[in-house]
């Protein structure tokens, strides 16, 4: 009978290492959430979890991760289901992303750009959707923005050519430059009553006409939406906001 330390197979070692890495990753996310939330103050009541991960009871993800938000105190969580639903959650503004064209495709710097996204759900808590966050998702058909979204940044859904339905949250105030640029399948959209700004080329290439908030027939005034003009600069265009 031999004494001494038992041998650990390479496969077993790799399994333990993988498990340890997953624990460290989740612990890191938890630390970031605590830092963003702050310590609990008995006088103010229990501290709120500022950046929750996507709700597991509502979705089952085949891939998920976390992203820094627009500032170092914000953590944005994302997850993708097996049928292509991308869920983004957190509390605060998403960061801006970049894009490049590869052949005739738009490829962004987002971690989900290589997936076939069919639906996007931006949950309550997100306040700003970052630039080009979902641009070029050619299989994207539906979008739902949570009630806390105040604005969409440049080119958020640009070149989502299959997009048919966009449900905008009640808190939305600003639709940024080229938000729905060249979303040719988008034929109608209802704007929340609180919208005050529709920026240049927001609906360029769509079939929605001149959308305006309910009860605001004079919303455009002497201006007209940029549906029939070429972008002023670059692929997605730049311009002055309509008020």
Q: Which residues contact 25 (CB under 8 A, 6 or more apart)?
A: none
pLDDT computed for residue 213 by the predictor = 84
With CA atoms as reference, report the closest residue to 204 among 185, 222, 226: 226
pLDDT of amino acid 211: 84
The pLDDT score that the predictor gives to residue 241 is 37
pTM over 0.75: no
Question: How far is Cα 204 from Cα 185, in angstroms, rounded to an integer?
Answer: 12
Cα–Cα separations (whole angstroms), residue 118 to 36, 129, 139:
31, 18, 5
Contacts of 139 (CB under 8 A, 6+ apart): 84, 116, 117, 118, 162
Residue 43, pLDDT score: 54
User: Yes or no: is domain 50-228 CATH 3.20.20.20?
Assistant: no
The three-state DSSP-derived secondary structure of 98-160 is CEEEECCEEEECCCCCCCCCCEEEECCCEEEECCCCCCCCCCCCEEEECCCCCEECCCCCCCC
Closest by CA to 193, choosing from 216, 211, 226, is 216
Domains of the chain by residue range: 50-228
What local confidence, expressed as pLDDT, does residue 176 receive? 94
pLDDT < 70: residue spans in the chain: 1-57, 217-243
Distances (CA, A) of 126 to 4, 20, 76, 141, 184: 56, 31, 8, 21, 26
């Amino acid at each position: 009978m031999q004494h001494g330390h038992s041998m650990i197979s390479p496969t077993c070692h790799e399994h333990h290492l993988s498990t340890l890495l997953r624990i460290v990753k989740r612990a890191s996310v938890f630390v970031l959430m605590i830092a963003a939330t702050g310590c609990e103050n008995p006088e103010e009541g229990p501290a709120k979890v500022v950046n929750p991960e996507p709700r597991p009871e509502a979705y089952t993800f085949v891939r998920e991760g976390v992203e820094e938000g627009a500032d170092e105190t914000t953590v944005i969580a994302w997850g993708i289901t097996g049928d292509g639903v991308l869920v983004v959650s957190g509390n605060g503004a998403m960061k801006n992303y970049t894009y490049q064209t590869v052949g005739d495709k738009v490829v962004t710097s987002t971690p989900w750009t290589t997936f076939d996204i069919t639906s996007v759900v931006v949950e309550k808590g997100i306040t700003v959707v970052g630039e080009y966050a979902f641009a070029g998702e050619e299989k994207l058909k539906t979008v739902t923005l949570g009630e806390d979204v105040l604005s969409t940044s440049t080119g958020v859904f640009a070149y989502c050519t299959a997009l048919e339905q966009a449900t905008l949250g009640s808190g939305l105030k600003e639709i940024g430059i080229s938000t729905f640029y060249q979303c040719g399948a988008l034929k109608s959209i209802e704007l929340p009553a609180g919208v005050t700004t529709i920026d240049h080329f927001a609906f360029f290439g769509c079939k929605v006409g001149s959308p305006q908030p309910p009860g605001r027939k004079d919303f455009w005034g002497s201006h007209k939406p940029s549906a029939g003009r070429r972008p002023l600069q670059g692929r997605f265009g730049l311009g002055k906001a309509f008020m």
